[in-house]
Structure 1
Amino acid sequence: MANILIVDDEEAINELVKLNLKLVGHICDQAYDGKEALDKLSKKQYDLILLDVMLPYISGFELMKVVKDTPVIFMTAKDRIEDKIQGLTSGAEDYIVKPFEILELIARINIVLRRIKTENTVFKVEDMEMDREGKIVKYQNEVVELTPQEYTLLEVFVINQNLAMSREKLLELAWGYDYEGDTRTVDVHVQKLRKKLGLEDRIKTVYKVGYRLEV
């Protein structure tokens, strides 16, 4: 869980990002222009800022000059290489171009949070506990031996908790882009995780979509 400030003057995008970040457990504040963002930053410390470049009153690039000790991910429609270079050399952790998939944004956020050590590496739900730093999974306080693929799939579920993901997306995230197997592989591994970790009521089947880890 992290405290995140979303700064974007496009209300629909701002709300969509907030909704999805709340679903995976983050706490979000919102600002719709540079002045409002500056005011919020003067009153509260955040773990991460999601920052648009083209903002009313004060641009994202200008805000970067006053942001201190808080990691920033630019999310913007400015896709020229010159803009990307300016954003990254200004001190931002990452630069993602609109339109983007929300799962990609969440993945990038998690990478930044891990890098700055603000993310809690221990995840618990009912009798299952996952220590992502130590790569140890327990059920009812007993260590459970998972195969590398089972562990990777569980980690994908944990990172994207409460989000419905298609079998194709799970294959992409847990097996890799070049995996040539079919989606039934996902079903088999989901059944194994449910049985080994008592997650029958937590890893939900989403009709005509795929699966969701509910927490």
Structure 2
Amino acid sequence: MNALIQIPQHRIFSQFPNIAFNVVVLAASMGGLKAISTILSALPADFPAAILIVQHLSPKVPSHLPEILSKRTALRVKPAATGDVLRPGTVYVAVPTQHLLVEPNGTLLLSDTPKMNFVRPAADKLFMSVATTYKSRAIAVVLTGSGSDGALGVLSIKKHGGMAIAQDESTSEFFNMPGAAIATGKVDLVLPLEAIASTLVHLVTSAAVA
């Protein structure tokens, strides 16, 4: 029975180098394109963690977010798809109208289950699934946006030993989302937008984990 329990863990971590955090999740709404672009453009091509992105977008307009972001970063960018295995240096972008989740075996799942916080995809859904799968090896980042999506997810991330970062008010076009996350009292760092990428690099690469 123990061997069966250990198999998913091996699948999750086997693709990653010996780093402290395997997954970084960025969540944003209004003003998010600039914020996400600023972070991704400052990350090196050999950034050793996987990156997941939830950006609230109108379901009525086709999303070109992966194409836009791929022109602004040295990292590989792709629309998230069910069955994708998370890999280092790759950015997976949630698609409109579907929740993005991480399965216990480390693969992605797109879901059309009901909206959460009036949105789909919801940062809370993704944060919660990442928290239960990657536990202390996950970093959640809540960026500019209206509403409170991400706050409940931050609580889950912290409950499972992960780390939470929020964009500060002075650099947020809309402070509702990061403000709600900060109000939980569980955010580890509140940073200006320009400091987030360098902080992520430091956190992910500074401490090796056996």
Query: Under TM normalisation by the shorter chain, which class is it?
Result: 0.3 to 0.5
TM-score (ref. length: structure 1): 0.39
Higher relative contact order (CA 8 A, sep 6+): 2
The TM-score, its normalising length taken from structure 2, stands at: 0.40
Structure whose CA Rg is larger: 1
